[in-house]
Amino acid sequence: MDLLSKGWAVSLLLCWFFVVVSCNSVEKKIYVNLNYTVSCVRLLNATHQIGCQSSLSGNVGVLHVLESEENLDWVLHSGPNPPYMVILESPLFTRSIMMKLKNGSSRVAGVAVVAPNTNPAAGFSPHTKCPNENTGVYSVKYDPAMAHCNKTLWNPLGNGLSYEEFDFPIFSLKDDNETQVIRQCYLDHNRAMNGSSLQYPLCAMQLYSHMSAVTDTATCMRRNDINFSINPEIVCDALGDYNVWASTRPLNNTAKGHKMWESVVIAAARLDSRSFFFDIAPGAESGVSGFVTLLAAAHALRNATQEAQPNRTILYTFFQGETFDYIGSSRMVYDMENKQFALDLDNVHSVLEIGQVGLRADSRLWLHSDPVSRRNNSVNEEVKGLIAKLHSAATGLSVSVQEPSFSQPLPPSSFQRFLRARPIPGIVIEDHQSAFTNRFYESMYDNAEYLNVSYPPNLSPEEQLEFVTDTAKALTEVATVVARALYTQAGGEEPQLSSIKADPQIVTQMLYSFLVQSNNSWFQQLIPSDLKSHLTNRPPNYYVGVAQQSSEPTLLVQHLLANLTGRTVNITQENCQNQREDENDKESKHMYSYMWVQGVAPPNGTEREGYCIRSTVRLSKALSPAFDLRQYTSDDYSTWTESRWKSIKGRIFLVASHELEMLTLGVGVGVLLTSLLLTYIISSKADILFSSGREPTNATY
């Protein structure tokens, strides 16, 4: 009797063991987790929510690979197994199809777009046709004929998809083996042959991207406040980051507001970009071409501005969050108006902004200016002077500069936010005369390939870093024009000009680092060791993100600008990190910033020898003033917030028919109850069952 019951207990345990093991392997067969999940997320402004989201437990749908727009009927009307998870090849990711799916959203569980490995031939821009339509200078009040891009539609290819709201998740898939698994699953299980009905099990996909925030920014900020007092759970965060700036003469950054005798020429570019999907914003033409040009110009001016200091200071500024209603520039102007910045607007002499300059037809640059402020004579004279300086800066170079027609307003640009405050003379340099040349504005295709940054085959990453591409040579010319024009605009002497030249080697290294991969030997030298983890083997993502900390692009530009405009100083690491030249120094932190960077890695693998860089590089907040003022319905300032989420993930699996699912569930529950009962019996009778002590170790299992 004793032996029998022991044997029974052992076999029960064995049986249990097998059930558990086989359950696990079944689960592995059924679920394939997607490893690459790039999703569209929810953003909110004063009045709307845009973007996508799933339900709390993820949206599940039967896979359907859409073959053409006509094929939509299956998804929207005739298919027998709704809701569907629609797989789109990128040519079908159009406004027309997406709006039909949006309209039929009761039968659509979600969408997965297969991103191609090479850029499409046709243009594609999910942005609006008139970027930042309501927050630039061209309001109806400023000039009714120029409001709402009435004169020039800057982004005619814009289909506005990035500003639509979808109540299902939308993911992007790379076209690789993972996507092949999905296609195969569809072909094996879901493809209806000659109209015959489908056989279960079917291949399904589940996408999770549940968003916490709803309705608009005011609503979610109110919820943040309520939650804060009861249980601190934030549902949305303001978009924002940090602007990067530096000056050719040190400015006391502790003393805010107006500086006597200071007159600055602002040289501006924007840092950020976006695409339909949250994690991909390569911004090659829309952002990188401009800020790399400005960085190269700043480098070219380092010697000239230190040897023969021109009368005016040049202020290099790199604005963050410009995509979302000019977050960075509107904040800097606000800070200047409110004595929160090292300078005020009275110190600003003029503005030279570098826009999109990577795609020049016939090497032509276009000098855009604001016709409204130029109606004022003195502004007009200054603008004409700056144009003349740009013309003479370009002589002898393979770049030509031209003006578009006098009556054309400015393209979307940070300078517009300065003009909103007062009529400051300025020019925006672009590669387009009227509408953008950029066919992929604010899309995932605005990448290295589009800017023609490519390398001969068989180069190692380090060789690619050093290889001077044609794009780099061309941008170097632009940087030289910008540097020379800035120098004369700041009051420097003309004869100095020919010695001011941008360096193609530096430009090519920047293009590689900002468009191909930031993790390379050059950037490793330029950053402090605690920021190493920010370097990646991908191009950085230029989406602005939320304000808590500065993003990867901001950090990289900050440290690079310090290297390109600063000096190394021979001081200890401790003094460097304490922002001083020596123990007794209490003043220099007002004028300079100090960074201890890693330095070169010696080839024999010993420790890097770090050193200290002294520069005038600073960060300033790029958070919309609307959030400091708590004006969440502001018309003047950006009100964009990003919803929080718990997880973004996806998986595919086979679903049985509904009846079979119910049967499986019933059996599962039955097994569970039985085993619970058995466990209860065994444990309550344990002293009887196992009374004769432990089995010897040679027991058979």
Q: Which residues bind ligand NAG (CB under 6 A)?
A: 32, 34-35, 45-48, 50, 100, 103, 134, 144-145, 147, 150, 163, 177-178, 181, 193-194, 252, 254-255, 300, 303, 311, 491, 522, 525-526, 563, 566-568, 570, 587, 590-591, 602, 604, 606, 613
The DSSP H or E segment spanning 430 is strand 426-430
What's the maximum distance between 2 C-alpha atoms anywhere in the chain? 112
- In the bound state with ligand NAG, the residue whose beta carbon lies nearer, of 181 and 234, is 181
Which of 284, 260, 324 shows the shortest CA–CA distance to 622?
324
- In terms of Cβ atoms closer than 10 Å to its own Cβ (0-12, 13-18, 19+), residue 91 is middle
Nearest-approach distance from CB 46 to ligand NAG, in angstroms: 4
Question: Tokens 């390569």 belong to which residue?
Answer: 282
- Interacting residues of 83 by C-beta distance below 8 A, sequence separation 6+: 59, 60, 61, 62, 106, 107, 108, 109
Neighbour count for residue 219 (Cβ, 10 Å): 16
- Distance, in Å, from the CA atom of 9 to the CA atom of 14, rounded to the nearest integer, reads 9
Question: Tokens 């929207």 belong to which residue?
Answer: 76
The DSSP H or E segment spanning 348 is strand 348-354
Nearest-approach distance from CB 587 to ligand NAG, in angstroms: 4
Nearest-approach distance from CB 445 to ligand NAG, in angstroms: 21
- Distance, in Å, from the CA atom of 656 to the CA atom of 294, rounded to the nearest integer, reads 59
Nearest-approach distance from CB 73 to ligand NAG, in angstroms: 12
- C-alpha distances in angstroms, 165 versus 254, 276, 580? 44, 12, 51
- In the bound state with ligand NAG, the residue whose beta carbon lies nearer, of 9 and 591, is 591
- In the bound state with ligand NAG, the residue whose beta carbon lies nearer, of 360 and 618, is 618
- Distance, in Å, from the CA atom of 587 to the CA atom of 155, rounded to the nearest integer, reads 49
Neighbour count for residue 301 (Cβ, 10 Å): 27
- In the bound state with ligand NAG, the residue whose beta carbon lies nearer, of 188 and 587, is 587
Nearest-approach distance from CB 103 to ligand NAG, in angstroms: 4
Nearest-approach distance from CB 665 to ligand NAG, in angstroms: 26
- C-alpha distances in angstroms, 512 versus 273, 464, 478, 586, 589? 18, 7, 18, 39, 33
- In the bound state with ligand NAG, the residue whose beta carbon lies nearer, of 229 and 498, is 498
Neighbour count for residue 579 (Cβ, 10 Å): 15
Nearest-approach distance from CB 454 to ligand NAG, in angstroms: 22
Nearest-approach distance from CB 178 to ligand NAG, in angstroms: 4
Which of 262, 245, 328 shows the shortest CA–CA distance to 615?
245
Residue type, 183: R
Nearest-approach distance from CB 287 to ligand NAG, in angstroms: 20
Nearest-approach distance from CB 676 to ligand NAG, in angstroms: 34
Question: Tokens 């009761």 belong to which residue?
Answer: 106
- In the bound state with ligand NAG, the residue whose beta carbon lies nearer, of 45 and 224, is 45
Nearest-approach distance from CB 351 to ligand NAG, in angstroms: 19
Residue 88 DSSP symbol: E
Q: Say if CB 548 and CB 321 are below 8 A apart.
A: no
- In the bound state with ligand NAG, the residue whose beta carbon lies nearer, of 68 and 254, is 254
Alpha helices in 107-232, H assignment, sequence order: 177-189, 217-229
Q: Say if CB 332 and CB 367 are below 8 A apart.
A: no
- In the bound state with ligand NAG, the residue whose beta carbon lies nearer, of 103 and 679, is 103
Nearest-approach distance from CB 41 to ligand NAG, in angstroms: 15
Question: Tokens 């299956």 belong to which residue?
Answer: 74
Residue 285 DSSP symbol: I
- In the bound state with ligand NAG, the residue whose beta carbon lies nearer, of 12 and 628, is 628
